[in-house]
């Protein structure tokens, strides 16, 4: 069953555009929310989450109607998928019922983790600067930040099992050897059972 979720940020704004699009998309039920972005409570969204069943698809007009930030969006979609349901955003062409949609969402998840990492780094910047004083520099060991994020995406796609190793390598523009190095770096047991 397709379940729509429409939200506007003020009482004056109109839900009509979202509702029309969700009805055209075939939503059987549509939850409507008029709540400011400052408020954390979204009672209609909580009702929707409570009603989700395996096989349902949560449909929104745009990503920002569901999540207020990238981290919020990733968390909510993970919650949806944790209930055995999927997610679709009409204007952003994201549909986790398809391999391409899952891949796109994994990229979002990686970006959210990247964002969290940057925030952690900024928080620790003062301590790191103090520790670094007086020490000689050198090339850091391990993967670069960019490679670490690619490794995380590679692991997620590998564990998901929807794409073959060849397809993952093509999507990430990496060689098979690099792919397996990334998985080893992430501590993944690479068995022979996965599709080639």
Alpha helices per DSSP H over 39-98: 43-51, 70-82
Distance set, CA 38 to CA 9, 34, 35 (Å):
9, 12, 8
9 catalytic? Reply is yes
Catalytic pick from 9, 16, 89, 175? 9
Residue 31: Cβ within 10 Å count: 21
Cα angle: 58, vertex 61, 65; to 5 degrees: 85
Asked if 94 and 105 touch (Cβ cutoff 8 Å), the reply is yes
Under a CB-based contact definition with an 8 Å cutoff, are residues 185 and 143 in contact?
yes
CA–CA distance, 123 with 71 (Å, rounded to integer)? 18
d(CA 12, CA 142): 53
Residues designated catalytic: 9
């Amino acid at each position: 069953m397709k379940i729509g979720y429409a939200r506007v940020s003020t009482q004056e704004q109109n839900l009509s555009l979202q509702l029309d699009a969700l009805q055209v998309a075939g939503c059987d039920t549509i939850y409507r929310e008029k709540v400011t972005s400052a408020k954390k409570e979204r009672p209609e969204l909580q009702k929707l989450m409570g009603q989700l069943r395996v096989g349902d698809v949560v449909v929104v007009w745009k990503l920002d109607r569901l999540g207020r930030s990238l981290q919020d969006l990733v968390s909510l979609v993970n919650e949806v998928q944790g209930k055995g349901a999927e997610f679709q955003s009409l204007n952003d062409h994201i549909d986790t019922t398809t391999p391409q949609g899952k891949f796109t969402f994994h990229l979002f998840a990686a970006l959210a983790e990247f964002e969290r990492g940057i925030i952690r780094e900024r928080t620790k910047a003062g301590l790191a600067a103090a520790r670094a004083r007086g020490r000689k520099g050198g090339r850091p060991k391990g993967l670069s930040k960019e490679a670490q994020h690619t490794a995380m995406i590679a692991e997620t796609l590998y564990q998901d099992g929807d794409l073959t190793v060849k397809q993952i390598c093509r999507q990430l523009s990496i060689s098979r050897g690099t792919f397996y190095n990334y998985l080893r770096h992430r501590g993944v047991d690479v068995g022979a059972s996965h599709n080639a």
